Amino acid sequence: MRKLFVTAFITITTFALTSCGGNSQNVEKEGPLDFSAVWTSHQDNVLGYVGENYQRFYFLIDSIKMDTEDTLHYHVWGKYRIKDRVSSYEGKVRILGEITTLPKKYQVDEDVNPQSGTQVYGITSEWNLNAIDINERIKGKMISTFYIKDGKAVFDDIDHYSDSFCNNQFEGVLSSPTTSEQKCCWGACRIPDCGDLDIGEGEFFPNDKYLTYGWQSYHDASVEGTEEGWEKEIQSRWNLESDTIHQVSTSK
């Protein structure tokens, strides 16, 4: 059942963002919206995979900035991890199409959430990332939803309590001279196009058949609730973040 919820969300959202049936609106009345905060929110909840065996993929944005001349264009820096290899990357992000107003069914019941009635919008962006230390590239598209507060774009987590909650859903490919192209996907709380990897109902749970591909510690922490599992999960994230912080601090 959980799979159907996620698939329905991605399919309907994709349709809404690409539709030309009058859903697009100009909400940038006081100047261009900066989506940096939308993409960098909830990074601790980002899950991803690469390849046919759903090898766990860690993704972190260290810094992302809107171009001063072309406000549809962003410059991004960060790190990603595959197995024990951590790679720095730099790249470009570009907003595709227009900001889209999502249907009212994306709103929440006022009895459940005080933010009921908040207008939610969607954007599609194209990401082109290049690893700095190796000849490897990531290219794909991301679907994000947001709302506007005090004139700023805010990560849409209004229905974060629901089983189907997800945001910043990226689908693309990772390519290198040695591995050719591999499917690479990530997202906040859920992963798009992940086949039978995610068997969770209330939240993401990895299928036991893929635990040896980097998901064992997540299973031990989130499913079994063991201290060792949580320590490994925290260490994995901390290593990725600390490497980035060290690189920034030593470059100043």
DSSP annotation of 24 reads B
**Partners of residue 154 on adjacent β-strands:** 147
Which portions of the chain are predicted below pLDDT 70? 1-30, 103-117, 237-239, 241-252
DSSP annotation of 162 reads S
120 touches 146 (CB < 8 A): yes
Give pLDDT tens digits for 1-39.
333 333 334 333 443 343 322 344 555 555 789 999 999
Place of tokens 């899950």: 47
Provide the residue type at 112 as one letter: V
Q: Give me the pLDDT at residue 145, please.
A: 95
Q: Give me the pLDDT at residue 21, please.
A: 29
DSSP annotation of 79 reads E
Q: How many CB atoms lie within 10 A of CB 22?
A: 7
Take residue 225 and report the two structure tokens written for it.
């609730």
198 touches 189 (CB < 8 A): no
183 touches 51 (CB < 8 A): yes
Provide the residue type at 209 as one letter: K
Q: Give me the pLDDT at residue 15, please.
A: 35
* Coil vs helix vs strand at 40: helix
Q: Give me the pLDDT at residue 161, please.
A: 75
**Partners of residue 39 on adjacent β-strands:** none
Closest listed residue to residue 174, CA positions, set 131, 124, 125: 131
